[in-house]
Structure 1
Amino acid sequence: MTYNFSGKRVMVTGAASGIGLASARALADAGAAHLVLVDLNEQALNNLDLACETSLYAGDVADEALWDRIEGDGGALDAALLNAGIAGQAAPVHKMAFADWRQVMAVNLDGLFLSLRTAMRQAKDGASMVLTASVAGLKAEPGIAAYGASKAATLHLAKIAAKEGARRRIRVNAIAPGGVDTAIWDSAPFFEELVEKHQGDRAGALNTMAEGMTPMGRFETAEELAQQVLFLLSDASGTVTGTALVSDGGYTL
Protein backbone atom coordinates (compact mmCIF):
# COMPACT_ATOMS: atom_id res chain seq x y z
CA MET A 1 0.00 0.00 0.00
CA THR A 2 0.98 3.61 -0.44
CA TYR A 3 0.11 6.35 2.01
CA ASN A 4 -0.38 10.05 1.45
CA PHE A 5 0.87 12.40 4.16
CA SER A 6 0.96 15.47 1.94
CA GLY A 7 0.78 18.65 3.98
CA LYS A 8 1.01 16.77 7.28
CA ARG A 9 3.10 17.77 10.28
CA VAL A 10 4.33 14.71 12.17
CA MET A 11 6.41 14.19 15.29
CA VAL A 12 8.81 11.25 15.62
CA THR A 13 10.81 10.50 18.77
CA GLY A 14 13.83 8.23 18.70
CA ALA A 15 14.11 9.49 15.14
CA ALA A 16 17.81 9.04 14.50
CA SER A 17 17.96 5.24 14.37
CA GLY A 18 16.00 2.02 14.07
CA ILE A 19 12.22 2.13 13.72
CA GLY A 20 12.14 5.89 14.28
CA LEU A 21 14.58 6.61 11.46
CA ALA A 22 12.87 4.19 9.07
CA SER A 23 9.51 5.78 9.87
CA ALA A 24 10.83 9.32 9.42
CA ARG A 25 12.17 8.37 6.00
CA ALA A 26 8.91 6.65 5.05
CA LEU A 27 6.88 9.67 6.15
CA ALA A 28 9.07 12.02 4.13
CA ASP A 29 8.75 9.76 1.10
CA ALA A 30 4.96 9.74 1.61
CA GLY A 31 4.86 13.51 1.26
CA ALA A 32 4.93 14.76 4.85
CA ALA A 33 5.41 18.52 4.80
CA HIS A 34 7.15 18.89 8.15
CA LEU A 35 8.72 16.41 10.57
CA VAL A 36 9.41 17.26 14.20
CA LEU A 37 12.28 14.91 15.04
CA VAL A 38 13.49 14.20 18.57
CA ASP A 39 16.50 12.11 19.59
CA LEU A 40 19.26 12.04 22.18
CA ASN A 41 21.93 11.78 19.46
CA GLU A 42 22.38 15.33 18.16
CA GLN A 43 24.99 14.41 15.57
CA ALA A 44 22.82 11.69 14.05
CA LEU A 45 19.86 14.09 13.95
CA ASN A 46 21.92 16.72 12.17
CA ASN A 47 23.10 14.15 9.62
CA LEU A 48 19.57 13.23 8.54
CA ASP A 49 18.79 14.12 4.96
CA LEU A 50 15.04 14.01 4.43
CA ALA A 51 12.92 15.29 1.56
CA CYS A 52 10.82 17.64 3.71
CA GLU A 53 11.12 20.43 6.24
CA THR A 54 12.33 19.36 9.67
CA SER A 55 12.55 20.72 13.19
CA LEU A 56 15.31 18.96 15.12
CA TYR A 57 15.34 18.62 18.90
CA ALA A 58 18.29 16.89 20.54
CA GLY A 59 17.76 15.89 24.12
CA ASP A 60 16.60 13.37 26.68
CA VAL A 61 12.88 12.60 26.30
CA ALA A 62 12.69 12.30 30.10
CA ASP A 63 13.71 15.98 30.44
CA GLU A 64 10.58 18.08 30.89
CA ALA A 65 12.47 21.19 29.75
CA LEU A 66 12.87 19.64 26.29
CA TRP A 67 9.11 19.32 25.94
CA ASP A 68 8.54 22.81 27.30
CA ARG A 69 10.80 24.05 24.49
CA ILE A 70 8.98 22.01 21.84
CA GLU A 71 5.60 23.25 23.03
CA GLY A 72 6.92 26.78 23.22
CA ASP A 73 7.94 26.64 19.57
CA GLY A 74 4.34 25.77 18.73
CA GLY A 75 2.83 24.03 15.74
CA ALA A 76 -0.15 21.70 15.51
CA LEU A 77 0.41 18.00 14.86
CA ASP A 78 -1.43 15.75 12.43
CA ALA A 79 0.32 12.62 13.69
CA ALA A 80 3.01 11.36 16.04
CA LEU A 81 5.18 8.28 16.47
CA LEU A 82 6.37 8.10 20.08
CA ASN A 83 9.16 5.63 19.73
CA ALA A 84 12.12 6.61 21.95
CA GLY A 85 13.14 3.84 24.30
CA ILE A 86 15.98 1.75 25.68
CA ALA A 87 16.35 -1.93 26.54
CA GLY A 88 18.48 -1.43 29.65
CA GLN A 89 20.52 -4.00 31.53
CA ALA A 90 19.22 -7.58 31.62
CA ALA A 91 19.06 -9.12 35.09
CA PRO A 92 16.65 -11.19 37.20
CA VAL A 93 14.55 -9.17 39.62
CA HIS A 94 16.50 -10.21 42.70
CA LYS A 95 19.77 -9.08 41.15
CA MET A 96 18.60 -5.91 39.40
CA ALA A 97 20.08 -2.64 40.62
CA PHE A 98 17.52 0.03 41.34
CA ALA A 99 19.54 2.48 39.24
CA ASP A 100 19.17 0.17 36.22
CA TRP A 101 15.41 -0.11 36.83
CA ARG A 102 15.05 3.66 37.08
CA GLN A 103 17.10 4.26 33.93
CA VAL A 104 14.68 2.19 31.85
CA MET A 105 11.59 3.68 33.48
CA ALA A 106 12.90 7.22 33.03
CA VAL A 107 13.16 6.83 29.27
CA ASN A 108 10.44 4.29 28.49
CA LEU A 109 7.75 5.64 30.83
CA ASP A 110 8.61 9.15 32.02
CA GLY A 111 9.81 10.07 28.54
CA LEU A 112 6.79 8.47 26.92
CA PHE A 113 4.41 10.30 29.25
CA LEU A 114 6.05 13.66 28.54
CA SER A 115 6.10 13.12 24.78
CA LEU A 116 2.51 11.87 24.76
CA ARG A 117 1.37 14.84 26.84
CA THR A 118 2.94 17.24 24.36
CA ALA A 119 1.55 15.33 21.39
CA MET A 120 -1.97 15.38 22.87
CA ARG A 121 -1.68 19.09 23.59
CA GLN A 122 -0.53 19.89 20.06
CA ALA A 123 -2.75 17.39 18.24
CA LYS A 124 -5.32 18.59 15.77
CA ASP A 125 -8.79 17.09 15.93
CA GLY A 126 -8.59 13.84 13.97
CA ALA A 127 -4.87 13.36 14.61
CA SER A 128 -3.36 9.89 14.97
CA MET A 129 -0.59 8.56 17.18
CA VAL A 130 1.43 5.38 17.55
CA LEU A 131 3.33 4.35 20.68
CA THR A 132 6.15 1.83 20.32
CA ALA A 133 5.62 -1.01 22.77
CA SER A 134 6.96 -4.57 22.46
CA VAL A 135 5.87 -8.18 22.74
CA ALA A 136 7.94 -8.07 25.93
CA GLY A 137 4.93 -6.26 27.39
CA LEU A 138 2.70 -9.20 26.47
CA LYS A 139 4.84 -12.29 27.11
CA ALA A 140 6.87 -12.78 30.25
CA GLU A 141 10.52 -13.67 29.90
CA PRO A 142 13.17 -13.82 32.63
CA GLY A 143 15.72 -11.08 32.98
CA ILE A 144 13.77 -8.20 31.42
CA ALA A 145 11.64 -6.98 34.32
CA ALA A 146 12.20 -3.28 33.75
CA TYR A 147 11.85 -3.39 29.97
CA GLY A 148 8.87 -5.74 30.00
CA ALA A 149 7.04 -3.76 32.68
CA SER A 150 7.64 -0.49 30.84
CA LYS A 151 6.27 -1.91 27.60
CA ALA A 152 3.22 -3.41 29.32
CA ALA A 153 2.55 0.05 30.71
CA THR A 154 2.99 1.51 27.21
CA LEU A 155 0.22 -0.75 25.90
CA HIS A 156 -2.19 0.37 28.59
CA LEU A 157 -1.22 4.02 28.29
CA ALA A 158 -2.16 3.85 24.60
CA LYS A 159 -5.62 2.61 25.57
CA ILE A 160 -6.13 5.38 28.11
CA ALA A 161 -4.97 8.09 25.70
CA ALA A 162 -7.21 6.62 23.00
CA LYS A 163 -10.25 6.85 25.25
CA GLU A 164 -9.38 10.40 26.30
CA GLY A 165 -8.81 11.51 22.71
CA ALA A 166 -11.82 9.82 21.15
CA ARG A 167 -14.19 12.79 21.48
CA ARG A 168 -11.77 14.78 19.31
CA ARG A 169 -11.37 11.81 16.94
CA ILE A 170 -7.74 11.48 18.01
CA ARG A 171 -6.68 7.87 17.48
CA VAL A 172 -3.95 6.33 19.62
CA ASN A 173 -2.57 2.86 18.96
CA ALA A 174 0.54 0.87 19.80
CA ILE A 175 2.83 -1.41 17.87
CA ALA A 176 4.24 -4.45 19.64
CA PRO A 177 7.15 -5.77 17.60
CA GLY A 178 8.98 -8.97 18.35
CA GLY A 179 12.54 -9.21 17.14
CA VAL A 180 13.57 -6.37 14.83
CA ASP A 181 16.89 -6.11 13.02
CA THR A 182 18.18 -2.91 14.62
CA ALA A 183 21.33 -1.85 16.46
CA ILE A 184 19.63 -2.45 19.84
CA TRP A 185 20.97 -6.03 19.78
CA ASP A 186 24.59 -4.96 19.31
CA SER A 187 25.05 -3.80 22.91
CA ALA A 188 23.64 -7.00 24.43
CA PRO A 189 26.39 -9.27 25.82
CA PHE A 190 24.59 -12.48 24.78
CA PHE A 191 24.35 -11.24 21.20
CA GLU A 192 28.02 -10.29 21.15
CA GLU A 193 28.81 -13.86 22.20
CA LEU A 194 26.53 -15.22 19.48
CA VAL A 195 28.26 -13.08 16.84
CA GLU A 196 31.62 -14.41 18.03
CA LYS A 197 30.34 -17.98 17.62
CA HIS A 198 29.43 -17.05 14.04
CA GLN A 199 32.98 -15.74 13.37
CA GLY A 200 31.76 -12.13 13.31
CA ASP A 201 28.82 -12.78 11.00
CA ARG A 202 26.13 -10.53 12.52
CA ALA A 203 23.46 -11.51 10.00
CA GLY A 204 24.11 -15.18 10.65
CA ALA A 205 23.86 -14.64 14.40
CA LEU A 206 20.61 -12.75 14.01
CA ASN A 207 19.14 -15.48 11.80
CA THR A 208 20.10 -18.15 14.33
CA MET A 209 18.42 -16.19 17.10
CA ALA A 210 15.29 -15.60 15.00
CA GLU A 211 15.00 -19.27 14.09
CA GLY A 212 15.10 -20.20 17.76
CA MET A 213 12.61 -17.57 18.90
CA THR A 214 9.91 -17.29 16.24
CA PRO A 215 7.76 -19.85 14.42
CA MET A 216 8.31 -17.91 11.19
CA GLY A 217 12.06 -18.11 11.69
CA ARG A 218 12.91 -14.50 10.98
CA PHE A 219 12.94 -11.04 12.48
CA GLU A 220 11.43 -7.97 10.86
CA THR A 221 13.31 -5.03 9.43
CA ALA A 222 12.81 -1.49 10.67
CA GLU A 223 11.50 -0.63 7.20
CA GLU A 224 8.74 -3.24 7.51
CA LEU A 225 7.74 -1.83 10.90
CA ALA A 226 7.71 1.67 9.41
CA GLN A 227 5.05 0.62 6.91
CA GLN A 228 2.90 -0.68 9.77
CA VAL A 229 3.38 2.62 11.58
CA LEU A 230 2.27 4.53 8.49
CA PHE A 231 -0.83 2.34 8.22
CA LEU A 232 -1.84 3.16 11.80
CA LEU A 233 -1.08 6.87 11.34
CA SER A 234 -2.97 7.07 8.05
CA ASP A 235 -6.65 7.27 7.24
CA ALA A 236 -6.38 3.71 5.93
CA SER A 237 -6.69 2.43 9.51
CA GLY A 238 -10.13 4.02 9.77
CA THR A 239 -11.48 3.98 13.33
CA VAL A 240 -8.80 1.66 14.74
CA THR A 241 -7.87 3.06 18.15
CA GLY A 242 -6.77 1.83 21.53
CA THR A 243 -5.31 -1.37 20.15
CA ALA A 244 -1.91 -2.94 19.62
CA LEU A 245 -0.60 -4.29 16.35
CA VAL A 246 1.45 -7.35 17.31
CA SER A 247 4.09 -8.07 14.70
CA ASP A 248 6.29 -10.83 16.07
CA GLY A 249 6.53 -13.73 13.64
CA GLY A 250 4.37 -15.83 15.95
CA TYR A 251 6.56 -15.43 19.03
CA THR A 252 3.54 -14.90 21.34
CA LEU A 253 1.58 -17.89 20.00
Structure 2
Amino acid sequence: MKILITGAASGIGKACADHYRERGADLVLVDRTAGNGIVEGDVSDPSLWEGLDLSGLTHAVVNAGIGDAAPVHEMPFEKWRRVMQVNLDGAFLTLRAALRAIDRGAIVITASATAIKPTPMTGAYGASKAAVAHLARIAAAENARRGVRVNVIAPGGVDTAIWDGPIIDGLVEKLGSRKKAIAAMGADIPVGRFATPEEIARQIGMLLEEETITGTMLVSDGGFTL
Protein backbone atom coordinates (compact mmCIF):
# COMPACT_ATOMS: atom_id res chain seq x y z
CA MET A 1 0.00 0.00 0.00
CA LYS A 2 1.27 3.45 -0.95
CA ILE A 3 -0.84 6.20 0.56
CA LEU A 4 -0.90 9.96 0.11
CA ILE A 5 -2.04 11.99 3.14
CA THR A 6 -2.39 15.76 3.14
CA GLY A 7 -2.54 17.88 6.26
CA ALA A 8 -0.27 15.22 7.73
CA ALA A 9 1.54 17.26 10.39
CA SER A 10 -1.27 17.39 12.92
CA GLY A 11 -4.81 16.35 13.79
CA ILE A 12 -6.62 13.83 11.61
CA GLY A 13 -3.87 13.76 8.99
CA LYS A 14 -1.19 12.93 11.54
CA ALA A 15 -3.41 10.27 13.09
CA CYS A 16 -3.90 8.71 9.65
CA ALA A 17 -0.14 8.79 9.04
CA ASP A 18 0.52 7.10 12.40
CA HIS A 19 -2.22 4.53 11.72
CA TYR A 20 -0.70 3.47 8.40
CA ARG A 21 2.93 3.81 9.47
CA GLU A 22 2.22 1.13 12.09
CA ARG A 23 0.90 -1.08 9.28
CA GLY A 24 4.02 -0.68 7.15
CA ALA A 25 2.50 1.43 4.40
CA ASP A 26 4.64 3.52 2.08
CA LEU A 27 3.62 7.08 2.96
CA VAL A 28 3.61 10.30 0.93
CA LEU A 29 2.92 13.02 3.47
CA VAL A 30 2.17 16.65 2.60
CA ASP A 31 1.68 19.64 4.87
CA ARG A 32 2.59 23.31 5.15
CA THR A 33 4.76 22.25 8.11
CA ALA A 34 7.78 20.08 7.29
CA GLY A 35 9.28 17.33 9.45
CA ASN A 36 9.04 13.58 10.05
CA GLY A 37 9.12 12.71 6.37
CA ILE A 38 6.62 15.40 5.34
CA VAL A 39 6.87 17.20 2.02
CA GLU A 40 6.39 20.88 2.76
CA GLY A 41 3.94 22.54 0.43
CA ASP A 42 0.62 24.25 -0.14
CA VAL A 43 -1.99 21.83 -1.52
CA SER A 44 -3.58 24.69 -3.47
CA ASP A 45 -0.35 25.28 -5.42
CA PRO A 46 -0.47 23.38 -8.74
CA SER A 47 3.34 23.25 -8.91
CA LEU A 48 3.40 21.06 -5.79
CA TRP A 49 1.49 18.34 -7.62
CA GLU A 50 3.57 18.67 -10.76
CA GLY A 51 6.73 17.85 -8.80
CA LEU A 52 5.47 15.15 -6.41
CA ASP A 53 6.28 11.51 -7.13
CA LEU A 54 3.03 9.55 -6.79
CA SER A 55 4.09 6.54 -8.85
CA GLY A 56 2.62 3.33 -7.47
CA LEU A 57 0.03 5.18 -5.38
CA THR A 58 -2.86 3.00 -4.20
CA HIS A 59 -4.70 5.16 -1.65
CA ALA A 60 -5.13 8.80 -0.66
CA VAL A 61 -6.55 10.82 2.22
CA VAL A 62 -7.48 14.29 0.99
CA ASN A 63 -7.48 15.98 4.35
CA ALA A 64 -5.72 19.37 4.36
CA GLY A 65 -8.00 22.22 5.33
CA ILE A 66 -8.34 25.45 7.24
CA GLY A 67 -11.18 27.08 9.11
CA ASP A 68 -12.48 30.56 9.69
CA ALA A 69 -15.41 31.94 11.66
CA ALA A 70 -17.58 34.92 10.81
CA PRO A 71 -21.18 35.71 9.88
CA VAL A 72 -21.63 35.77 6.12
CA HIS A 73 -22.25 39.52 6.07
CA GLU A 74 -18.99 40.17 7.93
CA MET A 75 -16.73 37.70 6.10
CA PRO A 76 -13.99 39.59 4.22
CA PHE A 77 -13.71 38.39 0.64
CA GLU A 78 -9.98 37.68 1.01
CA LYS A 79 -10.70 35.30 3.91
CA TRP A 80 -13.49 33.63 1.92
CA ARG A 81 -11.10 33.11 -0.99
CA ARG A 82 -8.34 31.71 1.24
CA VAL A 83 -10.68 29.12 2.75
CA MET A 84 -11.91 28.16 -0.73
CA GLN A 85 -8.36 28.09 -2.06
CA VAL A 86 -7.17 25.57 0.51
CA ASN A 87 -10.33 23.55 1.20
CA LEU A 88 -11.78 23.37 -2.31
CA ASP A 89 -9.03 24.20 -4.82
CA GLY A 90 -6.51 22.25 -2.75
CA ALA A 91 -8.84 19.27 -2.45
CA PHE A 92 -9.49 19.34 -6.22
CA LEU A 93 -5.79 19.40 -7.05
CA THR A 94 -5.05 16.61 -4.56
CA LEU A 95 -7.95 14.49 -5.79
CA ARG A 96 -7.00 15.01 -9.42
CA ALA A 97 -3.39 14.02 -8.77
CA ALA A 98 -4.47 10.93 -6.81
CA LEU A 99 -6.97 9.84 -9.49
CA ARG A 100 -4.29 10.15 -12.15
CA ALA A 101 -1.83 8.09 -10.12
CA ILE A 102 -4.06 5.32 -8.73
CA ASP A 103 -4.80 2.34 -10.95
CA ARG A 104 -6.94 0.43 -8.44
CA GLY A 105 -7.49 1.65 -4.91
CA ALA A 106 -9.39 4.20 -2.85
CA ILE A 107 -9.54 7.84 -1.80
CA VAL A 108 -11.19 9.43 1.22
CA ILE A 109 -11.91 13.16 1.37
CA THR A 110 -12.38 14.91 4.70
CA ALA A 111 -15.49 17.09 4.65
CA SER A 112 -17.41 18.21 7.74
CA ALA A 113 -20.77 17.92 9.43
CA THR A 114 -21.12 21.63 8.64
CA ALA A 115 -21.47 20.57 5.00
CA ILE A 116 -24.84 19.09 6.01
CA LYS A 117 -26.08 21.18 8.92
CA PRO A 118 -26.26 24.95 8.44
CA THR A 119 -24.16 26.17 11.33
CA PRO A 120 -23.79 29.87 12.11
CA MET A 121 -20.32 31.37 11.68
CA THR A 122 -19.18 28.65 9.24
CA GLY A 123 -20.22 30.19 5.91
CA ALA A 124 -16.91 29.80 4.10
CA TYR A 125 -15.88 26.57 5.81
CA GLY A 126 -19.27 24.85 5.51
CA ALA A 127 -19.70 25.89 1.88
CA SER A 128 -16.23 24.64 0.98
CA LYS A 129 -16.86 21.30 2.66
CA ALA A 130 -20.27 20.88 0.99
CA ALA A 131 -18.60 21.46 -2.37
CA VAL A 132 -15.82 18.99 -1.58
CA ALA A 133 -18.35 16.32 -0.57
CA HIS A 134 -20.23 16.69 -3.85
CA LEU A 135 -16.99 16.70 -5.84
CA ALA A 136 -16.08 13.39 -4.19
CA ARG A 137 -19.37 11.78 -5.18
CA ILE A 138 -18.93 12.92 -8.77
CA ALA A 139 -15.42 11.43 -8.78
CA ALA A 140 -16.83 8.20 -7.33
CA ALA A 141 -19.34 7.94 -10.16
CA GLU A 142 -16.67 8.62 -12.76
CA ASN A 143 -14.09 6.13 -11.46
CA ALA A 144 -15.93 3.16 -9.95
CA ARG A 145 -15.78 1.10 -13.16
CA ARG A 146 -12.00 1.31 -13.25
CA GLY A 147 -11.66 0.16 -9.67
CA VAL A 148 -11.02 3.45 -7.88
CA ARG A 149 -13.37 4.18 -4.99
CA VAL A 150 -13.96 7.66 -3.58
CA ASN A 151 -15.69 8.29 -0.25
CA VAL A 152 -16.20 11.15 2.17
CA ILE A 153 -15.96 11.39 5.93
CA ALA A 154 -17.84 14.25 7.58
CA PRO A 155 -16.63 14.65 11.16
CA GLY A 156 -18.32 16.86 13.70
CA GLY A 157 -16.25 18.15 16.58
CA VAL A 158 -12.78 16.61 16.67
CA ASP A 159 -10.08 17.68 19.12
CA THR A 160 -7.62 19.20 16.64
CA ALA A 161 -5.74 22.46 16.20
CA ILE A 162 -8.42 23.82 13.84
CA TRP A 163 -10.25 25.06 16.94
CA ASP A 164 -7.27 27.02 18.25
CA GLY A 165 -7.49 30.78 17.95
CA PRO A 166 -10.50 33.12 18.24
CA ILE A 167 -13.00 30.22 18.19
CA ILE A 168 -11.80 28.87 21.52
CA ASP A 169 -9.75 31.63 23.15
CA GLY A 170 -12.66 33.07 25.10
CA LEU A 171 -13.60 29.68 26.54
CA VAL A 172 -9.99 28.94 27.48
CA GLU A 173 -9.78 32.22 29.35
CA LYS A 174 -13.10 31.57 31.07
CA LEU A 175 -12.50 27.91 32.02
CA GLY A 176 -8.76 27.97 32.58
CA SER A 177 -7.46 25.46 30.04
CA ARG A 178 -7.85 24.26 26.48
CA LYS A 179 -8.80 20.77 27.72
CA LYS A 180 -11.71 22.18 29.71
CA ALA A 181 -12.79 24.34 26.78
CA ILE A 182 -12.85 21.38 24.37
CA ALA A 183 -14.80 19.34 26.94
CA ALA A 184 -17.35 22.15 27.32
CA MET A 185 -17.82 22.41 23.55
CA GLY A 186 -18.24 18.64 23.24
CA ALA A 187 -20.78 18.50 26.05
CA ASP A 188 -23.36 20.14 23.79
CA ILE A 189 -23.53 17.28 21.26
CA PRO A 190 -25.56 14.10 21.90
CA VAL A 191 -22.61 11.78 22.69
CA GLY A 192 -21.26 14.39 25.08
CA ARG A 193 -17.73 14.80 23.72
CA PHE A 194 -15.58 15.54 20.71
CA ALA A 195 -14.01 12.66 18.79
CA THR A 196 -10.26 12.06 18.88
CA PRO A 197 -8.20 12.23 15.68
CA GLU A 198 -7.34 8.55 16.19
CA GLU A 199 -11.03 7.58 16.11
CA ILE A 200 -11.55 9.43 12.83
CA ALA A 201 -8.37 7.86 11.40
CA ARG A 202 -9.72 4.37 12.07
CA GLN A 203 -12.96 5.27 10.30
CA ILE A 204 -11.04 6.64 7.33
CA GLY A 205 -9.13 3.37 7.27
CA MET A 206 -12.41 1.48 7.05
CA LEU A 207 -13.55 3.58 4.08
CA LEU A 208 -10.20 3.06 2.36
CA GLU A 209 -10.16 -0.68 2.85
CA GLU A 210 -13.77 -1.87 2.51
CA GLU A 211 -13.80 -2.70 -1.17
CA THR A 212 -17.54 -2.37 -1.89
CA ILE A 213 -17.99 1.13 -0.48
CA THR A 214 -17.88 4.08 -2.88
CA GLY A 215 -19.71 7.36 -3.29
CA THR A 216 -20.79 7.42 0.34
CA MET A 217 -20.46 9.97 3.14
CA LEU A 218 -19.80 8.70 6.64
CA VAL A 219 -21.17 11.32 9.03
CA SER A 220 -19.14 10.83 12.18
CA ASP A 221 -20.39 13.70 14.31
CA GLY A 222 -21.56 12.26 17.62
CA GLY A 223 -25.13 13.11 16.70
CA PHE A 224 -24.48 16.80 15.95
CA THR A 225 -26.64 16.73 12.78
CA LEU A 226 -29.58 14.90 14.38
- TM-score tier by shorter-chain length is over 0.9
Whether 1:97 and 2:73 are equivalent positions in the alignment is no
In the alignment, what sits opposite 1:59? 41
Whether 1:148 and 2:139 are equivalent positions in the alignment is no
Q: CA deviation at 1:74?
A: 4.5
Gaps of 5+ in 1: 1-7, 49-53
Q: How many residues align?
A: 226
Aligned mate of 2:86, from 89, 107, 116: 107
Gaps of 5+ in 2: none
Q: Distance in 2 between matches of 1:21 and 1:226?
A: 9
In the alignment, what sits opposite 1:219? 194
Q: Partner amino acid for 2:17? A: A
Percent identity of equivalent pairs: 54
* Partner-residue secondary structure (3-state), 2:4: strand
In the alignment, what sits opposite 2:33? 41
Q: Partner amino acid for 2:220? A: S
Aligned mate of 1:191, from 168, 175, 191: 168
Q: Partner amino acid for 1:204? A: K
Structure 2 matches for 1:1-253, cutoff 5 A?
8-32=1-25, 34-42=26-34, 46=35, 48=36, 56-70=38-52, 73-88=53-68, 90-125=69-104, 127-187=105-165, 189-199=166-176, 201-212=177-188, 214-234=189-209, 237-253=210-226
Q: CA deviation at 1:238?
A: 2.8
Q: Partner amino acid for 1:11? A: L
* Partner-residue secondary structure (3-state), 1:16: coil
Q: CA deviation at 1:205?
A: 1.3
Deviations 1:70-120 (A, max 9, x none): 1xx3512110000000002x1111111110100000000110100000000
* Partner-residue secondary structure (3-state), 2:44: coil
> What TM-score does the superposition give when structure 1 sets the normalisation length?
0.87
Q: Which has the larger radius of gyration?
A: 1
Q: Partner amino acid for 2:196? A: T
In the alignment, what sits opposite 1:4? none
Q: Where do 4+ consecutive residues of structure 1 move more than 2 Å? A: none
Q: Distance in 2 between matches of 1:222 and 1:143?
A: 23
